[in-house]
Amino acid sequence: KSTLLLQTLCKLAESVPALYITGEESLQQVAMRAKRLELKADKLQLLSETQLESILAQAARQKPAVMVVDSVQVLHMEGVSSAPGSVSQVRECAAALTRFAKQTNTIVLLVGHVTKEGSLAGPKVLEHMIDCSIMLEGSSDTRFRTLRGHKNRFGAVNELGVFAMTELGLKEVKNPSAIFLNRQAEPASGSVVMVVWEGTRPLLVEIQALVDASAVGHPRRVAVGLEQNRLAMLLAVLHRHGSLQVGDQDVFVNVVGGVKVLETSADLALLFAIVSSFRDRPLPEDLVVFGEVGLSGEIRPVPSGQERLQEAVKHGFKRAIVPTANRPRKALEGMTVVAVDNLAQALEAL
């Protein structure tokens, strides 16, 4: 968080007054980071302080256009007796900073920590005070980080930024689909590419399924990156309308790259991956699939179908199976699109 904000503020400081308040690190540590990342920090104002009254007094004198407070968990107010990081301190400090931001028309970026469960540490009221909540996510086993809006009073909440951590800080990944499409050289069964919609752009991700004979009385249903209840529902649809019985099989599904898919456009791709694994028949490498599957076996259209197909063409995919309502208005160069109305048609096309 600190790396991304320091990079951003050094860039902004070249054109507008910017103030970076560091409560967790010393000025020397921030300066060392800026030097290591080769940032132009000569115009950036830095302040190392944890007492809120001093911070607001200094900000009133400096009149910054953008101010970063890193972090809200170390701030304390004189009138509040509890320790920094407590519920009352976090709430009162956030309220004072919100008042300052609105009265002086200053953009305030407030850094907060998250708990092990992934929710904001501190009072829940903090999320209601702020105008925009942005979460930086990433695991230790990958150099990629995603920046996702959870609440935004001034725009869309489902925007997604993908960054790569390098020696010179976080760099924007202009083509995130390339990360999630690092497929094997040899075609394998149970794998298919789908197009999901993240914010205002399509993203190509690979979905994998493994169907295996169950050694226990109750077969397992495991979904990573997808909703478990939806997997159980789609298996019932596959049995009823696709005449494929996997009730005695363990079914494991996974979205490659740690992506979480919450939209229903992944339904058809998920069923195709399951069928591919069950029959042990690899699907074509140049096939892309999307569509929502209803309980009566119908294939429903999904939003932004044209843009999803154009993104797939851009990445070299030559075949697509999509809902009839998402059929392109005019033929796409280099791509054969098969439109389907129900699951039986889709399996026949497959």
Classify strands 66-70 and 107-110 as parallel, antiparallel or unpaired.
parallel
DSSP secondary structure letter of residue 332: P
Could you report the per-residue pLDDT of 165-222, keeping only the tens digit for each? 999 999 998 877 777 776 666 788 999 999 998 877 788 999 999 999 998 889 999 9
Do 101 and 195 belong to one domain? no
Residue whose entry in the numeric block shows the structure tokens 């850094």? 111
Do 185 and 103 belong to one domain? no
Instruction: Flag whether pLDDT at 127 surpasses 80.
Output: yes
Percent of the chain with pLDDT over 90: 72
Let me know if residue 183 belongs to a domain: yes
Do 307 and 187 belong to one domain? yes
What span, in angstroms and rounded, lies between the C-alpha atoms of 156 and 102?
Answer: 21
Could you report the per-residue pLDDT of 67-97, keeping only the tens digit for each? 999 999 999 999 898 999 888 999 999 999 9
What span, in angstroms and rounded, lies between the C-alpha atoms of 284 and 274?
Answer: 15
Buried b vs exposed e over 204-213: b needs ≥16 C-beta within 10 Å? Answer: bbbbbbbbee
Residue whose entry in the numeric block shows the structure tokens 């996974």? 254
User: What is the span of the domain harbouring residue 337?
Assistant: 179-349
Residues contacting residue 74 through CB under 8 Å, at least 6 positions apart? 23, 24, 50, 84, 85
pLDDT band of residue 116 (cuts 50, 70, 90) is confident
Total number of domains constituting the chain = 2
pLDDT band of residue 344 (cuts 50, 70, 90) is very high
Do 115 and 213 belong to one domain? no
Q: Sheet containing 107-110: which strands, arranged edge to edge?
A: 45-48, 18-22, 66-70, 107-110
Do 249 and 339 belong to one domain? yes
Domain CATH number, residue 258: 3.30.230.10
Let me know if residue 287 belongs to a domain: yes
**Bridge partners, residue 320, by sequence:** 288, 337
Predicted confidence at residue 69, as pLDDT, reads 96
Domain CATH number, residue 27: 3.40.50.300
Mean pLDDT of the chain: 91
Asked which of 104, 130, 156 is the last residue of a domain, the reply is 130
Do 113 and 242 belong to one domain? no
Do 89 and 195 belong to one domain? no
Q: What is residue 183's three-state secondary structure?
A: coil
CB 68 within 8 A of CB 21: yes
What span, in angstroms and rounded, lies between the C-alpha atoms of 84 and 90?
Answer: 7
Predicted confidence at residue 319, as pLDDT, reads 96
Do 321 and 209 belong to one domain? yes
What span, in angstroms and rounded, lies between the C-alpha atoms of 177 and 204?
Answer: 5
Cis peptide leading into residue 26 (ω within 30°): no
Could you report the per-residue pLDDT of 263-310, keeping only the tens digit for each? 999 999 999 999 999 999 999 999 999 999 999 999 999 999 999 999
Let me know if residue 57 belongs to a domain: yes
Let me know if residue 36 belongs to a domain: yes
Query: For the chain, how are helix, strand and coil distributed in percent, rounded to 5?
Result: 35, 30, 40
Would you state the structure tokens that stand for residue 302, as one six-digit string? 């999904």
Let me know if residue 103 belongs to a domain: yes
Do 228 and 327 belong to one domain? yes
DSSP H or E run through 211: strand 201-213
**Positive or negative torsion for Cα 24, 30, 36, 37:** positive
Let me know if residue 32 belongs to a domain: yes
Do 94 and 183 belong to one domain? no
Do 113 and 16 belong to one domain? yes
